[in-house]
Structure 1
Amino acid sequence: MSQSRTIVVVGGGSGGHVYPVLAVVDALKAIDPTLQFVYFGQIGGREHEIVTHAGLLFIGIHAEKLRRYWDLRTILVPVKIAQGIVESLTALARLRPAAVFAKGGYVVFPVAVAAWLLGIPVVVHETDSIMGLANRLIAPFARRVAVSFPRPGTSAAPKFVYTGLPILRRFHAPEIIDRNQPHDRPELLITGGSQGAQPLNTIVAGALPDLTKRYHVTHITGPDDFSRMRQTFEHRNYEPVGYTDRMPELMAAADLVISRAGGTIFELAALAKPAILIPLPTAGNDHQRANASVLAERHAAMVLEQAEATPERLTELVTTLLRDDKERARLGTRIKQFDRPDAADRVAHLILQVAKR
């Protein structure tokens, strides 16, 4: 490794980018406790609170969404990106890290470009089966690109390495895996992620009167929609939660999970949980539908398109699965194929390898 003991990590826009970074940081600390970490994130982004709570130094960078369409804000995109590159150059030149690890979100673009200009090696990680726009743009600057899904041709392209998605170690902890179901009725967990919660919540709201007659429902609404959902429906079998850091415990206790089709897939895989996936239709490059298709092809999850997810259809599908123990067990076994318990370690070793060069 170079003389620097600092690793810069960057990712933002959603918890789906932040938590894998923290998992990799934990893996790197376990390998080399002398390493120091600095997190580059978007100014005003949600990642700031999560990262500082985890005890990492946070540096804010100006960034702007890389738009695939034209509106008045598009005019500001080059200005914000240029500002972010200058800020990143200044901070990286001062820190002189051994490597930069970029997880995703549009904040990674100015940081990766600045790192490349300074000759600092970059490792990129992609969550989805289709690479996001920001990661596609920075891949040429990267020494290694780690991917979550096995993809044809990966072995033929040395830059691309199949690692799986780093997730919190608690998803693989024995005390989590063996957790007993705490309620006197089947447990249904619903989570829509930070970007696609509201449309899913609206569908769920229509299904709650029927669902809560038979099941206990824990619903991760997202912080922006918590008040609405709490006021929409009250029942002793309905537990809305705005935000939680107890996802491993909640997921382990569930008999069935309803979720989007992003990084949550790999948390489900870790716990071998049967799931109904409702892909976010507005996701860039339609990557959530692509992710869900990979699982559907292997019969590893039930997939329901948002346009078809009426409250009645959702209730019907939930009821069918919660009555069929054997089918849920089959789904759990099949989704487990996507679990890579050593994903964080694999990514950590990639970072250390490029840092030594």
Structure 2
Amino acid sequence: MMMKRKMTFVVTGGGTGGHIYPALAIARGLEKRFSGAEVHYIGSHRGLEKSIVPREGLPFLAVHSRGLERKVHPKAMLSFGVTALGLLEALVVLRRLKPQALIGTGGFVALPVAMAALFLGIPTLIHEQNAFAGITNRILAPRVRKVLLTFDEARKRLESRQAVLTGLPVRPSIVTATRAEGRQFFSISEDSFVLLVVGGSRGAQRLNEALPTLAKAWSGNNKYHIIHVTGQANYDSTREHYQKTGIDLDNDGNIKIIGYLDHMELALAAADLAVGRSGAAFLSELTVRGVPSLLVPYPYAAENHQEANARSMEAAGAAQILLDKDVDGETIKKTIQSLCNQPTQLASMAKAAKALGQPEALERILDEIEDVL
């Protein structure tokens, strides 16, 4: 039953888009479910959330945080000290805000913030995006009210009194954006083939270096368009790779490279094929939209969980996989052009991706939050 009194919530999570965007989706869902609710975001001083969240219009507060060292090392003391400072800062903030509940989505900053909430007796839930839970959520799982899961196999690494399979939430705009809006935003005609390349919030160097070979073949041909999101740290070097290939980015209107994209929902809505890493958040967006994909799992992800994610997509017929070690310009060019020339296969992949989508994940999460309240 919807509660009538004004509510206050805190969401926390950060470092990469994989933690930030689920937190933002939950925040928007809370605002809608609990009409008039105030939702505050607590992040770190150094994570991407510091720039992303204010642009989304949510109140943002930063506390100190640092990755935990898994080995005995002088840096371990520094990590402990910074985390303790973040805990004290979070205690001050949460005492002032007095939220009805706190929801964490992982990342190093979620640890001190969620621990502060637990000390203050604030109902706390966490969401685990991946099949292999990260260290923050493994520490928090036995202590929080509920653990919300994207993959059921994550239970194996989480000691939780109550773990619930909900799926991974995506921002409502990911679901509602239309193809026409996406094409208009990027000034692309309806009959053009659009390739979206996303390396994740921090980019993917091998992808960035390989794409110019394909772009050169498509340069000036408005039948094809490339939207390449490089990651902010890799933008300048990627631009140099394009220029060395002989592409005039200032005049080739069918090739757009972007360091960071605020409106990913419009890029996904416009895309006919996506190429990118296989983090859980990106895969959830692809499947909700029904976008076929060529996945290049990040090879250094913890427990190699990105390849496991990608294999599940491949097994369902929603994606093809190209391992990072096999990525080069000619291979990328050949693989993507082959897919472009098989519209029936792309349509089948799109249908399979859509079947995997969990557009109801956000509502399930909100139900669990309301149950705790």
Give the TM-score of the pair, scaled to structure 2: 0.87
2:102 maps to 100
Counterpart among 335, 351, 358 of residue 317 in structure 1:
335
| Structure 2 alignment gaps of length 5 or more | none
CA deviation after TM superposition for structure 1 residue 178, in Å: 8.4
Residue 174 (structure 2) pairs with residue 171 (structure 1)? yes
Moved more, 108-117 or 86-95: 86-95
1:250 maps to 267
CA deviation after TM superposition for structure 1 residue 301, in Å: 0.9
Q: Within 5 A, what are the aligned runs for 1:1-357?
A: 5-68=7-70, 73-151=75-153, 159-173=162-176, 175-176=178-179, 182=189, 185-212=192-219, 215-233=224-242, 234-235=247-248, 236=252, 237-262=254-279, 263-354=281-372, 356=373
CA deviation after TM superposition for structure 1 residue 50, in Å: 1.8
Distance 1:86 1:245, change over 3 A: same
1:269–1:337 CA contact under 8 A, matched in 2: yes
The number of residues matched between the two structures is 353
1:132–1:285 CA contact under 8 A, matched in 2: no
Distance 1:325 1:122, change over 3 A: same
2:6–2:35 CA contact under 8 A, matched in 1: no
Distance 1:221 1:152, change over 3 A: closer
Distance 1:29 1:208, change over 3 A: same
Distance 1:269 1:260, change over 3 A: same
Question: 1-side partners of 2:255 and 2:87: how far apart?
Answer: 46
Matched residue type, 1:312: E
Residue-by-residue CA offset, 1:4-29 (whole Å, 9 max, x unaligned): 82111101101222222121121111
1:4–1:96 CA contact under 8 A, matched in 2: no
Matched residue type, 1:161: V
CA deviation after TM superposition for structure 1 residue 239, in Å: 1.0
> For the aligned residues, what is the CA RMSD?
2.5
CA deviation after TM superposition for structure 1 residue 200, in Å: 2.3
Tell me the SS of whatever aligns to 1:141.
coil
1:3–1:98 CA contact under 8 A, matched in 2: no
Give the TM-score of the pair, scaled to structure 1: 0.90
Matched residue type, 1:173: T
| Structure 1 alignment gaps of length 5 or more | none
